Structure 1
Amino acid sequence: MITQLEPVLALQGQWQGHSQLYLAEVGSAARSGVTASVTPMLDQHFVRLDYQWQHEGQPHQGFMIFGYQPTSDLACLHWADNWHMGRDIMVLKGTLGLDTGWNVFGTYAAASGPDWGWRIKFKPDPQQTLVSMFNVSPDGIQTLAVEMVLQRSA
């Protein structure tokens, strides 16, 4: 029987690729190289993805911890990135499928007004993994914020 975490567990190892950061106020994407590593945790109940990237010549790093609760069929992802999240960790929850990947949603406090949403789509693939992050306005309008394409390192 295939468990929901197996496609992410199969990514264990080193990855490299590129990331595009979409800034609405700039109106274009900033592209940078990205490196990543995937490591099982806690007797393979969780999987951790650590990544490093740059923006305007400054190094940044982040992580995602993937978990799955089979009794509630709930995907859970803990995410932090020192550029996007500062000193906070976002908890995102949602769905996952063996063919469709992870689709999780969390919220963050806006400077003023209601909270905004953040959605992460994670499509694991043994050769090329895609991570897409979307900013979600209080009205539900989704805007691509980050797209990361990772290939297994040689």
Structure 2
Amino acid sequence: MAVSKKLLALAGSWQGINRLWLDPSKPAQESAGTAVFQPVAQNKFATLNYTWAYKNQSQAGLLLFGQEGEQVDAAWVDSWHMQHAMMHCTGEIQSDGGITVLGSYAAPPGPDWGWRLTIQPLSDAQFKFIMHNITPEGEAMLAVEAIYSRQP
């Protein structure tokens, strides 16, 4: 297991804007955000630690992932989105060198919903972290888009 060179190039500290959509038909709620991308365990895994805010309250999250060939395994936590649970995700490497992973969460009394996380490298100086909420019927709705630029 090893992290791709394209993602390893993201190692470092980042700052950006986090956009949250609670209702896809309404404007996003924006907040400043930070991220630290760090290879771990001899570049076999990587972490993306990030911060953002909701209603002026600080929030934080962590994505830990590694890849075996084209398959990616990940664990995701977020102080607002996941509260006290950890989401286990699987996915694949994208053609742009990024990753996309998919997990699910309980939504009682109905069926589980899906959650898709994507890290999309834009350049050595910028990347996107995107989250989609997925209905039980398979409809994906943009929930979060964070665009980060490398800190000097």
Tell me the TM-score normalised to structure 2 length.
0.92
1:72-111 matched pairs, under 5 angstroms: 73-99=70-96, 101-111=98-108
Q: Is the 8 A contact 2:77 2:87 kept in 1?
A: yes
Change (3 A) 1:134 1:25: closer
Counterpart pick for 2:124 among 101, 123, 126: 126
Within-5 A mapping of 1:12-91:
12-24=11-23, 27-70=26-69, 73-91=70-88
Q: Where do 4+ consecutive residues of structure 1 move more than 4 Å?
A: none
C-alpha distance in structure 2 between counterparts of 1:49 and 1:15, whole Å: 10
Give SS of 1:23's match.
coil
Residue by residue, what CA displacement relative to the aligned partner does 1:21-43 show, whole Å, maximum 9, x if unpaired? 00118833100000111111111
- Size of the aligned set, in residue pairs, is 150
RMSD of aligned residue pairs (Cα, Å):
1.7
Aligned sequence identity (%): 36
Q: Secondary structure in 2 aligned to 1:28?
A: coil
